[in-house]
């Protein structure tokens, strides 16, 4: 590996992508099953490599939360294999005819889904992403080049090797799955500047990582991620819906991007809903950061600062603010939202429809928990990520979002007049 450059790997992935693009759905399914079996069979080796990452991590003083995300044990390796089998069971989007017609001159025009070619991914210390992205890419006929965080380097090296060996056993070029982890920062740079070799690059991780990838890349990027998610409660919001939706959106899984971060309460509803909702949150262990009005209506509220409105806590914290009108709520959302998910709780259909129409986010809800913004909840089976950009994909991404399209024209000598 010493004389190789990251560029060499990208080129081999590109070459391999010509082969993966032509695999049948059955062939890809068998290869994925082979990968699942290989992960199970190599569990010990994987766990041993992971133990070295964890040991290194402890020596480097990384926190317990990160250690937990990094850790692979028997159960988690089985979960990796199960995830691959779930991906294998997904409908293959490649070859789907999504448009077309016969031109007046008789040329038959067809728009079909084709693999992108090479999918790049830059992510942080989660070894499960290594397997997920490689499997999702392969299911949709793509090769993949992976750049995980250095904290998971030993784990990723073994996982990639296990997957490559399984591909080879299935008669597929192992070059279809590549890692550039061993090149460190140069590996990420090669991905971000791999014009003509990387067809789409997906960053997954912190807002800072995503910002870096979006800003530095010269290849097309799908921006995923950050969710500074809002729920608005208007004067018509029923007590139970307001309480249940906000508590569910905050508490059910606070560490994920679709968890609510700020609750905006319309002034007329504030005396009724602020104490009701804030106390329900507090009884679930949530720290409420409120503006002056909220502080005045409820005890044990931490005074909120400007920073709170912009913060994606990803923890048992929530910001709460009283606004005069729906216009003010919409203006607040425009200013602070990351365009992921917002919801309104209301029984006033004018407010609901106005909110749905005017909020410029990937998913806009009325009377439902923001936690529903999720690939499996949306019926996609597996999650490639949640796009917060408007180009190509917006919101939860399924396998189709890992494909491009191509026009096929079949004629009989036609020329243009």
Query: Can you give the binding site for its own copies, defined by CB under 8 A?
Result: 18, 21-22, 101, 103, 107, 109, 111, 114, 116-117, 195, 199-200, 214-215, 218, 220-222, 238, 240-241, 244-245, 247-249, 252, 343, 352, 356-358, 360-369, 371-373, 377-379, 389-392, 394-396, 404-416
DSSP 8-class letter at 198: -
> Of 49 and 246, which CB lies nearer to its own copies in the complex structure?
246
φ, ψ for residue 109, nearest 5 deg = -115, 130
> Of 23 and 72, which CB lies nearer to its own copies in the complex structure?
23
Distance CA 352, CA 17 (A): 46
CB-based burial, 106-122: b 16+ in 10 Å, e otherwise: eeeebebbbbbbbbbbb
> Of 56 and 400, which CB lies nearer to its own copies in the complex structure?
400
> Of 1 and 357, which CB lies nearer to its own copies in the complex structure?
357
Distance CA 119, CA 32 (A): 17
CB 370 within 8 A of CB 74: no
> Of 41 and 360, which CB lies nearer to its own copies in the complex structure?
360
> Of 89 and 103, which CB lies nearer to its own copies in the complex structure?
103
CB 13 within 8 A of CB 115: no
In this structure, the chain runs to a length of 417
H or E stretch at 277: helix 270-282
Q: Which two tokens stand for residue 92?
A: 């293959």
State how far the alpha carbon of 76 is from the alpha carbons of 37, 46, 126, 167, 299, in Å: 14, 11, 12, 22, 42
* Beta bridge mates, 201: 120, 221
Distance CA 240, CA 381 (A): 31
Within 13 Å and on the Cβ side, how many CA atoms surround 231? Answer: 31
In angstroms, what is the minimal distance from the CB of 25 to its own copies?
15
* Beta bridge mates, 41: none
> Of 67 and 366, which CB lies nearer to its own copies in the complex structure?
366
In angstroms, what is the minimal distance from the CB of 209 to its own copies?
15
């Amino acid at each position: 590996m010493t004389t190789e450059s990251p560029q060499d790997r990208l080129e081999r992935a590109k070459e391999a992508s010509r082969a993966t693009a032509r695999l049948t759905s059955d062939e890809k399914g068998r290869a994925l099953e082979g990968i699942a079996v290989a992960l199970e069979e190599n569990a010990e080796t994987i766990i041993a490599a992971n133990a070295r990452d964890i040991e290194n991590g402890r020596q480097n003083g990384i926190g317990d939360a990160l250690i937990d995300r990094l850790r692979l044990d028997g159960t988690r390796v089985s979960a990796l294999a199960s995830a691959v089998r779930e991906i294998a069971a997904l409908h293959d989007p490649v070859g789907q005819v999504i448009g077309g017609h016969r031109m007046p001159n008789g040329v038959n025009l067809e728009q079909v889904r084709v693999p992108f070619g090479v999918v790049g991914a830059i992510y942080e210390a989660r070894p499960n992403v290594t397997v997920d992205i490689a499997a999702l890419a392969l299911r949709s006929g793509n090769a993949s080049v992976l750049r995980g965080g250095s904290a998971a380097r030993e784990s990723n090296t073994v996982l990639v090797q296990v997957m490559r060996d399984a591909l080879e056993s299935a008669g597929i070029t192992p070059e279809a799955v590549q890692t550039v982890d061993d090149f460190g920062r140069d590996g990420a740079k090669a991905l971000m500047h791999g014009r003509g070799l990387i067809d789409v690059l997906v960053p997954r991780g912190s807002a800072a990582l995503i910002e870096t990838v979006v800003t530095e890349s010269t290849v097309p990027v799908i921006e995923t991620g950050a969710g500074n998610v809002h729920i608005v409660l208007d004067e018509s919001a029923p007590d139970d819906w307001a309480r249940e939706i906000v508590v569910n959106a905050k508490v059910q899984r606070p560490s994920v991007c679709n968890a609510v971060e700020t609750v905006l309460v319309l002034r007329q509803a504030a005396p009724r809903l602020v104490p009701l909702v804030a106390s329900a949150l507090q009884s679930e262990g949530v720290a409420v950061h409120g503006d002056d009005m909220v502080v005045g209506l409820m005890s044990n509220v931490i005074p909120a600062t400007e920073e709170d409105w912009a913060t994606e806590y990803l923890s048992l914290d929530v910001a709460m603010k009283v606004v005069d009108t729906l216009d003010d709520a919409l203006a607040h959302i425009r200013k602070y939202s990351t365009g992921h998910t917002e919801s309104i709780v209301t029984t006033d259909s004018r407010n609901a429809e106005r909110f749905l129409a005017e909020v410029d986010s990937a998913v806009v809800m009325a009377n439902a928990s923001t936690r529903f913004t999720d690939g499996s909840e949306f019926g996609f089976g597996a999650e490639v990520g949640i796009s917060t950009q408007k180009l190509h994909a917006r919101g939860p991404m399924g396998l189709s979002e890992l494909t491009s399209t191509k026009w096929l024209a079949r004629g009989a000598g036609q020329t243009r007049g």
